[in-house]
Chains A and B, each alone.
Chain A
């Protein structure tokens, strides 16, 4: 376990000192600051706009972080052969996968927690600037719940990064596959609903149904973690729903890491 923590700490340290991370955080902070101005532009439901903009900014920063910092942290090991140094230590391949994953997750957690704190401050400032009437539906609980759901989504998305890094030696392909998985995961539910309703009265082929059925079991349903709209309307989801999503995220992550470890154990580091 110590070896896993040592690698995750190394990965985290390398990531936290990356200038790209600083750039992402600065962009996110500017965007969060901008919400002070933008919220005022809307004449009604300011609470809704505020929550929506803040959560979207945090999600955007998390995606940039995952796609450009975390994928780079994984790919650099292979591209620049730093993996030789790491694996020359008494680390098993499974420990390598787990250590790297924990490092990436720690980085996402710390960066997004920092943005959450900042975002909460912005919300408190904006709330103090306008009358309470504009924030009828606003709920801190819903805001934090939506943030927590986003974090669960990032746990899976970073496991996807690890999975594709164990398969491919090219950082570009890892980026491409991860983005494709994210887009598929965000849209699969809508596509499923469309096919089930046979929308617009069109007949859909059995093959399409079959493909969508398989895809919904393979790809993670990321849209289930996106409750920004609900949170902005002050609607919170019951604890059972949260527990179910925690379970879903946990199982998906474990499965991805398991397969990543299996593939990586067979891989030759040339």
Chain B
């Protein structure tokens, strides 16, 4: 699914001081079908606002957003989308299975396809044993994995992950990495927000650095690899922390602007 942002602006008015806060400024971005696109940026860079606009939670002030040519405000656009929010919180008294059934039904899945899909994902995310347990008894990592199941049960073509690794142990992180790579093999488009630069570097075909609402830089895999190979740290180490350096330089240049 192709995603397009064209001259998108979004600002909020602070409820107390009535001051206008620009969350996203003149955003032009195109994400291609089958691409894993990573978005990084410091807190308050506008990443979450961007995702919320993409999901139709908030409307852009100006400019246009399209997903396969459709507006994100239309509910039908979201049939083929899956979303994992940052620090997901689900209904306390429901089980992962209840939640996934809801997700599958609202996406219009055929009745006979629902249970096999639930079983497959729960097994894949190692939640088979806890499928009937209430979500309030889940650990943070389990909730995160249940959220991934909820986002993927209807086999969407566009997947939006906001900090998918947050709260996961190394085993959980490996599960998610394998899953993302598997989804890429299937030709899914994935938008991936993370503060963990290693994950972005490892998984993404392209990445963007955002700061103060602006898109500061985009890099593709070739540029990433090329830069990494050329980069030598002050200690003489090659390649390591290259993305971190790029991130800091980009954000720092913004501070100086």
Interface residues, chain A, with chain B CB atoms under 8 Å away: 2-3, 6-7, 9-10, 13-14, 17-18, 76, 80-82, 84-85, 87-92, 95, 268-270
Instruction: Give the number of residue pairs across the A-B interface with Cβ within 8 Å.
Output: 84
Give Cα distance in the complex from A82 to B99, angstroms: 11
B138 within 8 Å of A by Cβ? no
**Chain B residues whose CB sits within 8 angstroms of the CB of A6 once the complex forms:** 101-102, 105-106
Which of A76, A81, A89 is close to B106, meaning CB atoms less than 8 Å apart? A89
State the CA gap A14–B75 with chains docked (Å).
24
Supply 12 further A-B pairs (C-beta < 8 A) apart from A6-B101, A90-B76, A270-B57: A9-B102, A82-B90, A84-B57, A85-B85, A85-B88, A85-B90, A85-B99, A85-B150, A87-B55, A87-B56, A89-B107, A90-B106
Q: Which of A9, A18, A95 contacts B93 (CB 8 A)?
A: A18
Q: A2-B108, A14-B94, A91-B75 are in contact. Are A80 and B89 (CB under 8 A)?
A: yes
**Judging by beta carbons under 8 Å apart, are A270 and B108 in contact?**
no
A-B contact pairs, 22 of them (CB 8 A): A2-B108, A3-B105, A6-B101, A7-B106, A10-B94, A14-B91, A14-B93, A14-B94, A76-B91, A81-B89, A82-B89, A84-B88, A85-B85, A88-B55, A88-B82, A88-B151, A89-B103, A90-B75, A95-B75, A268-B58, A269-B58, A270-B58
* Bound-state Cα–Cα, A267 to B99, Å: 25
8 cross-chain pairs, A with B, having the tightest CB-CB distances, nearest first: A17-B93, A88-B83, A269-B57, A89-B106, A6-B105, A268-B58, A90-B78, A90-B75
In the bound assembly, the distance between CA atoms of A88 and B159 in angstroms comes to 11
Chain B residues with CB under 8 Å of A90's CB are 75-79, 106-108
In the complex the two chains form, what is the Cα distance from A7 to B98 in whole Å?
11
Known: A7-B102, A10-B102, A88-B83. A82 touches B91 (CB 8 A): yes
> Complex formed: what's the CA distance from A17 to B98 in Å?
13
State the Cβ distance, A168 to closest chain B Cβ, in Å.
13
Q: Separation in Å of the B75 CB from the closest CB of chain A?
A: 4
Instruction: Say yes or no: A10-B90 contact (C-beta < 8 A), given A17-B134, A89-B78.
Output: no
Convert B19-60 into 0s and 1s, putting 1 for each residue whose CB lies closer than 8 angstroms to a CB of A. 000000000000000000000000000000000100111110
Complex: how many Å from CA A14 to CA B102? Answer: 12
Q: A6-B106, A89-B107 are in contact. Are A268 and B90 (CB under 8 A)?
A: no
Complex contacts, A88 vs chain B, CB 8 Å: 55, 78, 81-83, 85, 151
Min CB distance B73 to A, Å, is: 9
Q: How far is the CB of A224 from chain B (nearest CB, A)?
A: 36
B98 touches A10 (CB 8 A): yes
Residue on A nearest B78 in the bound complex, by CB: A90
Given A10-B98, A13-B94, are A87 and B57 neighbors across the interface (CB < 8 Å)?
yes
Please measure, in the bound complex, the distance between the C-alpha atom of A84 and the C-alpha atom of B88, giving whole angstroms. 9
Residues of B within 8 A of A85 (CB): 83, 85, 88, 90, 99, 147, 150
Mark out the residues of chain B between 146 and 170 whose CB falls within 8 Å of any chain A CB in the assembled complex: 147, 150-151
Using Cβ atoms and an 8 Å threshold, which residues of chain A touch B147? 85
CB distance from B40 to the nearest CB of A (A): 21
With CB as the reference atom, state the residue of chain B lying closest to A2: B105
Give the distance in Å from the alpha carbon of A255 to the alpha carbon of B103 in the complex: 29
**Which residues of B have CB within 8 Å of A269?**
52, 57-58
Q: In whole Å, how far is A151's beta carbon from the nearest beta carbon of chain B? A: 25
The CA-CA distance from A40 to B108 in the complex, in Å, is 57
A269 to B58, CA, bound (A): 6
Q: Which residues of B contact A14 (CB under 8 A)?
A: 91-94
| A21 (CB) vs chain B CBs: closest residue | B93
B57: A residues at CB distance < 8 A: 84, 87, 268-270
Q: Nearest chain-B residue to A83 (Cβ)?
A: B57
Report the nearest A residue to B56, measured CB to CB.
A87
A13 to chain B: which residues have CB within 8 Å? 93-94, 98
Compute how far the CA of A166 lies from the CA of B18 in the bound complex, rounded to whole angstroms.
22
Contact B106 A91 (CB under 8 A): yes
Please measure, in the bound complex, the distance between the C-alpha atom of A76 and the C-alpha atom of B56, giving whole angstroms. Answer: 20
Bound CA–CA A9/B105 (angstroms): 11
Name the B residues within 8 Å of A87 (CB-CB).
55-57
Residues of A within 8 A of B77 (CB): 90
Q: Closest CB of chain B to A2's CB: distance in Å? A: 6
Q: Which of B75, B101, B151 has the most CB of A within 10 A?
A: B75
List of A residues within 8 angstroms of B107 by Cβ: 89-90
Among residues of B, the one whose C-beta sits closest to the C-beta of A269 is: B57
Chain A residues whose CB sits within 8 angstroms of the CB of B106 once the complex forms: 2-3, 6-7, 89-91
